[in-house]
Amino acid sequence: DYMIPALFAELPSLPLNRNGKLDREALLRVARSDAPVQVNQASPRDHIELTLYRIWQDILLHADIGVHDSFFDIGGTSLSAIKLAHAIREAFGEMLPIRDIMLHPTVEALGGRLRQGASGRPPSTPSTPGNLIEFREGDGRRRVVCVHPAGGTAFCYLSLAKALPDGYGVYGIQSPGVNPGETFLPTVEAMAESYLALVEPLLDGPLVLSGLSYGGLVAHEMARRLAASGRTDVSVVLLDTQATDDPADRAALGPVEIDEFRDKLVKFNGMYPGIEDEQIEQYFRVYNHNRMTARTHVPAPSEARLVLVQAVEGGTDTPLTDAVRAFWERRGLGGFRVEPVDCDHWEMLESAGVLRVAAVIEDELARFPAPPPPAARQGEPSLVRPAREA
């Protein structure tokens, strides 16, 4: 059950070699050329993978881990495999034999094994899934809060968290509705209000609110409200967030069909081992709901400083990039800055793109004087902090 093909392809016929047998190399070349390009390949994609990722970091003392890295290729030994099995039992309530760790040596493969369950049943949840994920606590003096894109999850920001200085607190907000039993919030404004309440204990110092694509709409509204309340140490960094004043263009933004959504899920490497149809359908509902809230939302002018990190593929502006830039410039009453990045929309949080985003965020936080390290905070929000080995 944990083994899922890496890609599917429809071909009119199978390529054959000179001997009339299947040419496997040619088959792979054709299949890969037709496959959608995947982004965010190295980052965890759900709470199980994120928990394993953090366990591996603790045991291996390795900061740069991807979901496809082999435990034993990046420093794992037989002794550390025993520690890993113990930590998995503490986090998930499942005791896996060392043999299973050797057979499933990556975060991705081991996550699939855990979803299957040691006895054929799903594992217990590592911690109650919440809508606020702590990627890094930092020193409490500067914080970055990233709002989910339309898909609803915030795991795509892990690459950004790794690119930012260790002292920064970095958090991701997930969309209500991603976890079972949650109710969708009806509008972007309702999300902004709810998310500000969620992160209220984290708002006692310089802050950057950010969001990729759809997430930028919510981040902008959150920053607008903070600025209206008198906050002057907040910047919003939009990651290629599209918007328009044209009602016809907004009306054209409708729900997608399930086949198109599955293609997007593959593109963003979301078809992880063990994912069930029910989870795909849940993500599908979240995605379309968020798209519909974008259609009815018109961002208001804001006194918060606004930075648009804009994907400009090939470095050449187009009528669309110019129009989006002008739209946000009219909203940035507290200051406006554009940072073009030579990438496409989907590469904003990958490789060179994410380094540019991190540099922009560092520049924005450097504008504000850093407060002294805070005393122990009271009333911390409920964070997704997977259990770690004692």
Give the residue, 332 or 264, on which the prediction is more confident: 332
Q: Quick one: 254 and 338 in the same domain? A: yes
- Pairwise CA distance, residues 329 & 385, whole Å: 38
Q: What sign has the CA pseudo-torsion 194, 177, 294, 148? A: positive
pTM summary value: 0.73
Tens of pLDDT, residue by residue over 226-265, are 999 999 999 999 999 999 999 899 888 889 999 888 887 7
In a domain, 282, yes or no: yes
Query: CATH number, domain at 80?
Result: 1.10.1200.10
Query: CATH number, domain at 332?
Result: 3.40.50.1820
**Helix extents (H) in the chain:** 24-34, 47-60, 78-92, 98-103, 107-116, 158-163, 188-198, 214-228, 247-251, 258-267, 277-295, 319-331, 351-366
Given 116, 148, 164, which residue is the final one in a domain? 116
Whether the pLDDT of residue 204 is over 80: the answer is yes
- Pairwise CA distance, residues 81 & 234, whole Å: 44
Q: Quick one: 225 and 330 in the same domain? A: yes
Q: Quick one: 275 and 328 in the same domain? A: yes
Q: What is the CA radius of gyration of the chain?
A: 22
In a domain, 223, yes or no: yes
Tens of pLDDT, residue by residue over 60-101, are 876 678 888 888 888 887 778 888 888 998 888 888 887 788
Q: Quick one: 163 and 192 in the same domain? A: yes
In a domain, 5, yes or no: no
Tens of pLDDT, residue by residue over 135-193, are 889 998 999 999 999 999 898 898 899 899 999 999 999 999 987 788 999 999 999 99
Q: What is the span of the domain harbouring residue 203? A: 132-366
In a domain, 164, yes or no: yes
Provide, rounded to the nearest whole percent, the portion of the chain with pLDDT above 70: 83
Q: Quick one: 93 and 142 in the same domain? A: no
Q: Quick one: 237 and 321 in the same domain? A: yes
- Please count the structural domains in the chain: 2
Q: Quick one: 271 and 177 in the same domain? A: yes
How many helices and strands, by DSSP H and E, does the chain display?
Answer: 13, 7
Q: Quick one: 56 and 162 in the same domain? A: no
Query: Shortest CA distance to 357 belongs to which of 375, 370, 343?
Result: 343
- pLDDT band of residue 22 (cuts 50, 70, 90) is confident
Q: Quick one: 218 and 87 in the same domain? A: no
Given 86, 116, 146, which residue is the final one in a domain? 116
Q: Quick one: 195 and 341 in the same domain? A: yes
Given 116, 143, 163, which residue is the final one in a domain? 116
Tens of pLDDT, residue by residue over 260-302, are 888 877 766 566 666 778 878 888 999 999 999 999 999 999 9
213 three-class SS: coil
In a domain, 31, yes or no: no
In a domain, 254, yes or no: yes
User: Edge to edge, what strands does the sheet with 234-239 contain?
Assistant: 132-136, 169-173, 143-147, 207-212, 234-239, 305-311, 336-341
- Pairwise CA distance, residues 249 & 239, whole Å: 20
Q: Quick one: 313 and 243 in the same domain? A: yes
In a domain, 3, yes or no: no
Q: Quick one: 159 and 288 in the same domain? A: yes
- Pairwise CA distance, residues 276 & 252, whole Å: 31
In a domain, 280, yes or no: yes
